[in-house]
Amino acid sequence: MADLDRFRAETRAWLEANCPASMRTPMPDEEIVWGGRKPVFQHPDQKLWLDRMAAKGWTAPTWPARYGGGGLTEPEAAVLEEEMRALGCRPPLRSFGLTMLGPVLLEYGNEEQRQEHLPKIVRGEIRWCQGYSEPGAGSDLAGLQTRAVLQGEHYLVNGHKIWTSYAHYADWIFALVRTDPTVRKHDGISFLLIDMASPGVRARPIRLISGASVFCETFFENVQVPAANLVGEPNKGWTIAKRLLEHERKSIGGIGDRAKPTRTPESVAKELAGEADGRIADPVLRDAVARFNIDNAAFQLTRRRAQEMAEAGEPPGPLSAMFKYYGTELNKRRYELMVGAAGTEGLGWEGEDFDPAALKTTREWLRSKANSIEGGTSEVQLNIIAKRVLGLPD
């Protein structure tokens, strides 16, 4: 414990000395640093801060130091996070390499792959994206058809991925490909790393009902990929894929509580549907808002309960299976309520008369509709609960 206290003091001192003042301000979405071969920095301090943190390996605090990570223990990493929060330090780097690929390489990659890729992820030199879904393989992800045929030292990849977030900005993609079409669909899938600069790779952004998006379609046309880029064993990619999906679901389930929202259903209702005696004037709307807030509060308490159970070493058991489903459905309800309470002011698309915050909410409302589709649809989540938690038969 004394060690941890010392670590805390040192960490705080280092952060105070090294985190530029401008990097201790709240970070708007546009100022997130994603790294990559052609990194975008709006401000030199962003680069300075990233380089300093990367040098200590603190962009990936718990990764082993030999791969460029911080080599911290979990408790130390928690202290680092607490101290950063206490000082208001921005995360120096966000990347799918850090949150998704890195853990996979640490668990399933070989030494060469780790040496090659992990340090670049730590330093934000390579930006990764994920190539999972296909037009014909959504909920049935294992039905994917992108083919990778081994020809000597290379795989020849042909296919069409969709929902590849930020593919148009990414340098590399980790993708699921079919390496054996003759066996059960889950048994013929491999996990392949592909340089997006390879000839034959093309990414096209997707426009959503909410407007421009970070999603792309990514096409592979006779793309040559070194055989050494296969992670794990050939045809065993499904195991890796599932591990990654678990992680993705958890992060989407928490979608409602990422940031303290400034516009809430109750604030919008008071502002745009009327306030009386300090309350939402319309009792029917008030009832609907309270109904949502109660469900939402009960859900947040459930997340906390699962966390406490995990900390107490109890298996949270079936609890976590519901987070993706319930959290995303709640988020959709939140936006339906806000848009409804705002009336015609909540349905603007373009026009100088609309409040920019309201225009943003309209887009977010539409964007929220994807929450119950991406990362495993609500229907798939309910199937999982029924099967794994309740033990209902197929």
- With respect to a copy of itself, which residue has the nearer C-beta, 231 or 280? 280
> Residue 12 pairs with which residues in a beta bridge?
none
Tally the C-alpha atoms within 13 A of residue 304's C-alpha that lie toward its C-beta.
Answer: 7
Partner in contact with 118, chosen from a copy of itself, another protein, none, beta carbon below 5 to 8 Å by kind: none
Tally the C-alpha atoms within 13 A of residue 5's C-alpha that lie toward its C-beta.
Answer: 2
Number of residues that bind another protein (CB under 8 A): 88
- With respect to another protein, which residue has the nearer C-beta, 255 or 366? 366
Question: What b/e string do you get for 346-375 counting C-beta neighbours within 10 Å, with b at 16 or more?
Answer: bebeeeeebeeebbebbbbbbbbbbbbebb
Query: Considering the rule CB under 8 A, would residue 30 count as an interface residue with another protein?
Result: no
CB of 268 to another protein, least distance (A): 10
- Of 64, 158, 302, 364, which lies in the binding site for another protein, with binding defined by CB under 8 A? 302
φ/ψ of 36, rounded to 5, equals: 115, 175
Tell me which residues in 307-346 interact with another protein (CB under 8 A).
Answer: 308-309, 312, 314, 318-319, 322, 325-326, 339-340, 342-346
- Of 270, 331, 337, 338, which lies in the binding site for another protein, with binding defined by CB under 8 A? 270
Tell me which residues in 142-181 interact with another protein (CB under 8 A).
Answer: 143, 162-163
φ/ψ of 165, rounded to 5, equals: -60, 135
- With respect to a copy of itself, which residue has the nearer C-beta, 170 or 288? 288
Tell me which residues in 209-248 interact with another protein (CB under 8 A).
Answer: 209, 211
Report the SS3 class of residue 120.
helix
Amino acid letter, 138: G
Partner in contact with 233, chosen from a copy of itself, another protein, none, beta carbon below 5 to 8 Å by kind: none
Query: Which two structure tokens, joined as six digits, stand for 76?
Result: 């130390």
- Of 14, 108, 354, 364, which lies in the binding site for another protein, with binding defined by CB under 8 A? 354
Task: Provide the mask over 95-134, with x wherever binding to another protein is found by CB under 8 A and - wherever it is not.
Answer: --------------------------------------x-
Query: Considering the rule CB under 8 A, would residue 262 count as an interface residue with another protein?
Result: no
- With respect to a copy of itself, which residue has the nearer C-beta, 4 or 281? 281
Query: Which two structure tokens, joined as six digits, stand for 357?
Result: 């915050």
Partner in contact with 354, chosen from a copy of itself, another protein, none, beta carbon below 5 to 8 Å by kind: another protein
Partner in contact with 148, chosen from another protein, a copy of itself, none, beta carbon below 5 to 8 Å by kind: none
d(Cα 217, Cα 164) in Å, to the nearest integer?
Answer: 6
- With respect to another protein, which residue has the nearer C-beta, 36 or 376? 376
CB of 147 to another protein, least distance (A): 19
d(Cα 112, Cα 68) in Å, to the nearest integer?
Answer: 14
Angle, to 10 degrees, between the axis of helix 323-342 and the axis of helix 283-311?
Answer: 160
CB of 225 to a copy of itself, least distance (A): 39
CB of 394 to a copy of itself, least distance (A): 16
Contacts of 108 (CB under 8 A, 6+ apart): 191, 231, 232, 239, 240
d(Cα 176, Cα 244) in Å, to the nearest integer?
Answer: 11
Tell me which residues in 360-389 interact with another protein (CB under 8 A).
Answer: 362, 366, 369-370, 372-374, 377-379, 381-383, 385-387, 389
Contact at 8 Å (CB) between 156 and 224? yes
Contact residues for a copy of itself, defined by CB under 8 A: 282-284, 287
CB of 94 to another protein, least distance (A): 23
- With respect to another protein, which residue has the nearer C-beta, 111 or 277? 277
- With respect to another protein, which residue has the nearer C-beta, 120 or 249? 249
Cα 342 to Cα 220, 230, 265, 337, 338, distances in angstroms? 44, 51, 9, 8, 6
φ/ψ of 195, rounded to 5, equals: -75, 125
Partner in contact with 88, chosen from a copy of itself, another protein, none, beta carbon below 5 to 8 Å by kind: none
Partner in contact with 149, chosen from another protein, a copy of itself, none, beta carbon below 5 to 8 Å by kind: none
d(Cα 281, Cα 269) in Å, to the nearest integer?
Answer: 8
Residue 224's H or E segment, with its range, is: strand 211-226
> CA 394, 390, 139, 194 torsion: positive or negative?
negative
- Of 21, 85, 353, 356, which lies in the binding site for another protein, with binding defined by CB under 8 A? 353
